[in-house]
C-alpha cells in the first residue's frame, strides 16, 4: 500500500473534471492511502450523490484559508474568469511542501511540474498556452507556467504517465509539449432505462454547468426555431449552478420563465437526472471545442440520440457522424428536425465509457509506477 496524493485544483464547478477526480479517488482508496489536495468551497461528500461515487476512505487537505480563497475566486469569476491556472499554481505550492510524505501523485487537474512520480490526467492543458497556434493564453498564463508548469522533460521521464480525456485533447498536448498522451476516456456508466423508444417524450435534454461556455441560451434558441417550424419539442435544462456563473444563471432562468416549453432544473439528484434522460429522446450539447463532452457521453449511455458541435472530443463520442454534428445553430435545428421525422432509436453501445473501465485502467497506470 502506497501513500497517494491526488491533486485537483477545485471541486467548485461540479463538472466533468470533478467526476474524474472523485472516480480516481474511489478507484485508488481500497489499495492505497489516498489524500486529496484541493482548494475548494465544495467538499467531496457534497458530490457523491451527483456522481454516484463513494470516497469515505479519502482524506482531504486544503491550505489555510482555502474556503475563503475559493469563495473569493467564485465571487469575482464573472469579471475575471474562473482562473483555473491560478488555482493550480496555489495548489502546487501547497502540495510541494507536503510532497515528501507521498510515494506518488495523481493529478486530475491537468499537467504539473512535480518532484515525485506521477500520473497526470489532462482535460485540457493549463500551461504554456502561448505555444498553441490558435491559443488565447491570457495575460498571466506565462507567469503561471513559470511557477508550476512542466517542461517536456518533466513529462517524458519513466516516472511520469501522461493521460488525456480524448484524442483531440491529446493533439493539443502534443502541440505544446511534443508528447502524445495515452487516451483514457472519462467514466460514464450506462443508464438503466426500461422505457421503450416509442414511449419516450419528444423532448430535448441539455445537461451541464449553467455557464457561458456551455451556450445554454443558444440551446433555447435552437428549440425555439424547431418549434417555429411546426415540431412540438420541449426542452429540459439540467445543470449545476456554481456561484462563479450566477449572472449567467440568472439570464438562463429568465429565458426559461418566458417559455412554457422550457424547464430549468438546477442541481438535481442522480435519480432525477437519470429519469429525465430515460424518458426523453434527444440530448443536446452546445459547447464548441468541448475537450471531451461528458454530457454527450451520458446521452449516449442513456440510449438517446445526441447532437453536438463538430469540434473537440465530442466528435469521438458521436463517431464523427455528420447527422449528429453541426457547425452552426441552423444546422443544429435541421439535424434535430430530421432525426425527429425519422424517429429511430440509436444503435450504439451504451457501455463504451463505463466507470469500471476507467478505474481499472487508472489503477493499472498507478500500479506500474508503484512496482
**What confidence score (pLDDT) does residue 222 get?**
98
**What confidence score (pLDDT) does residue 268 get?**
86
pLDDT over threshold 70, residue 78 = no
pLDDT band at 350 (very low <50, low <70, confident <90, very high): confident
Record the cell numbers describing residue 28, joined without a space. 485508488
pLDDT band at 80 (very low <50, low <70, confident <90, very high): low
Q: Which residues of 206-221 are buried (b: 16+ CB within 10 A; e: fewer)?
A: bbbbbbeebbbbbbbb
Q: Which residues of 67-93 are buried (b: 16+ CB within 10 A; e: fewer)?
A: eebbeebbeebeeeebbbbbbbbbbbe
- What does the pLDDT average to over 153-161? 92
Percent of the chain as helix, strand, coil, to the nearest 5: 45, 15, 40
* Spatial contact of 248 and 219, defined as CB atoms under 8 Å apart: no
CA–CA separation, 59 and 337 (whole Å)? 49
* Spatial contact of 339 and 305, defined as CB atoms under 8 Å apart: yes
Share of the chain above pLDDT 70, in %: 98
**What confidence score (pLDDT) does residue 343 get?**
96
**What confidence score (pLDDT) does residue 206 get?**
98
3-class DSSP state of 354: coil
Task: Give residue-wise pLDDT tens across range 23-48.
Answer: 999 999 999 999 999 999 999 998 98
Cβ neighbour number for residue 24 with a 10 Å cutoff: 29
pLDDT over threshold 80, residue 70 = yes
Task: Give residue-wise pLDDT tens across range 218-234.
Answer: 999 999 999 999 999 99
Nearest alpha-carbon partner for 208 in 166, 228, 237? 237
pLDDT over threshold 90, residue 92 = yes
**What confidence score (pLDDT) does residue 82 get?**
62
- What does the pLDDT average to over 52-81? 85
Task: Give residue-wise pLDDT tens across range 270-324.
Answer: 899 999 999 999 999 999 999 999 999 999 999 999 999 999 999 999 999 999 9
**What confidence score (pLDDT) does residue 169 get?**
97
**What confidence score (pLDDT) does residue 240 get?**
80
CA–CA separation, 137 and 129 (whole Å)? 5
**What confidence score (pLDDT) does residue 51 get?**
87
Pairing between strand 262-266 and 234-239? parallel
pLDDT over threshold 70, residue 149 = yes
| 69 vs 88, higher pLDDT | 88
Verdict on whether the full-model pTM lies above 0.95 = no
Q: Topology of 197-342 in CATH?
A: Rossmann fold (3.40.50)
Average the pLDDT over each of 101-105, 131-135, 198-202, 304-308 and give the range with the smallest value.
131-135
**What confidence score (pLDDT) does residue 321 get?**
96
Task: Give residue-wise pLDDT tens across range 239-276.
Answer: 887 777 888 999 999 999 999 999 999 878 889 999 99
Q: 3-187+355-370 sits in which CATH class?
A: alpha beta
What are the extents of the domains in the chain?
Answer: 3-187+355-370, 197-342
- What does the pLDDT average to over 52-77? 88
Distance of CA 333 to the CA centre of its chain: 25
- What does the pLDDT average to over 181-207? 94
Record the cell numbers describing residue 177, joined without a space. 509539449
**What confidence score (pLDDT) does residue 371 get?**
76
Cβ neighbour number for residue 184 with a 10 Å cutoff: 20
- What does the pLDDT average to over 186-203? 93
**What confidence score (pLDDT) does residue 101 get?**
97
Amino acid at each position: 500500500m502506497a501513500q497517494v496524493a491526488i491533486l485537483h485544483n477545485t471541486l467548485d464547478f461540479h463538472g466533468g473534471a470533478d467526476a474524474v477526480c472523485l472516480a480516481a479517488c474511489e478507484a485508488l482508496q481500497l489499495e492505497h492511502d489516498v489524500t486529496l489536495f484541493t482548494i475548494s468551497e465544495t467538499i467531496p461528500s457534497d458530490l457523491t450523490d451527483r456522481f454516484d461515487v463513494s470516497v469515505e476512505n479519502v482524506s482531504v487537505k486544503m491550505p489555510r484559508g482555502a474556503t475563503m480563497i475559493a469563495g473569493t475566486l467564485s465571487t469575482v469569476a464573472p469579471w475575471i474568469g474562473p482562473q483555473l491556472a491560478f488555482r493550480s499554481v496555489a495548489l502546487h505550492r501547497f502540495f510541494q511542501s507536503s510532497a515528501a510524505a507521498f510515494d506518488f501523485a495523481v493529478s486530475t487537474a491537468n499537467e504539473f511540474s512535480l518532484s515525485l512520480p506521477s500520473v497526470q490526467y489532462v482535460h485540457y492543458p493549463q500551461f504554456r498556452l502561448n505555444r498553441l497556434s490558435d491559443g488565447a493564453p491570457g495575460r498571466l498564463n506565462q507567469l503561471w507556467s513559470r511557477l508550476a508548469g512542466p517542461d517536456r522533460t518533466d513529462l517524458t521521464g519513466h516516472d511520469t504517465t501522461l493521460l488525456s480525456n480524448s484524442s483531440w485533447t491529446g493533439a493539443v498536448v502534443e502541440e505544446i509539449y511534443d508528447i502524445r498522451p495515452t487516451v483514457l476516456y472519462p467514466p460514464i456508466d450506462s443508464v438503466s432505462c426500461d422505457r421503450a423508444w416509442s414511449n419516450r417524450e419528444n423532448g430535448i435534454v441539455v445537461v451541464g454547468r449553467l455557464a457561458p461556455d456551455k451556450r445554454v441560451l443558444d440551446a433555447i434558441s435552437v428549440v425555439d426555431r424547431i418549434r417555429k417550424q411546426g415540431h412540438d419539442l420541449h426542452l429540459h435544462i439540467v445543470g449545476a449552478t456554481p456561484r462563479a456563473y450566477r449572472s449567467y444563471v440568472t439570464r438562463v432562468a429568465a429565458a426559461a420563465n418566458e417559455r412554457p416549453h422550457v424547464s430549468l432544473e438546477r442541481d438535481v439528484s442522480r435519480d432525477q437526472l437519470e429519469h429525465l434522460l430515460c424518458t426523453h429522446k434527444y440530448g443536446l450539447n452546445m459547447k464548441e471545442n468541448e475537450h471531451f463532452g461528458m454530457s454527450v457521453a451520458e446521452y449516449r449511455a442513456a440510449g438517446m440520440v445526441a447532437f453536438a458541435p463538430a469540434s473537440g472530443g465530442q466528435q469521438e463520442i458521436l463517431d464523427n457522424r455528420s447527422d449528429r454534428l453541426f457547425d452552426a445553430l441552423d444546422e443544429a435545428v435541421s439535424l434535430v428536425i430530421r432525426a425527429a421525422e425519422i424517429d429511430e432509436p440509436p444503435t450504439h453501445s451504451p457501455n463504451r465509457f463505463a466507470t469500471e473501465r476507467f478505474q481499472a485502467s487508472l489503477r493499472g497506470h498507478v500500479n506500474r509506477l508503484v512496482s
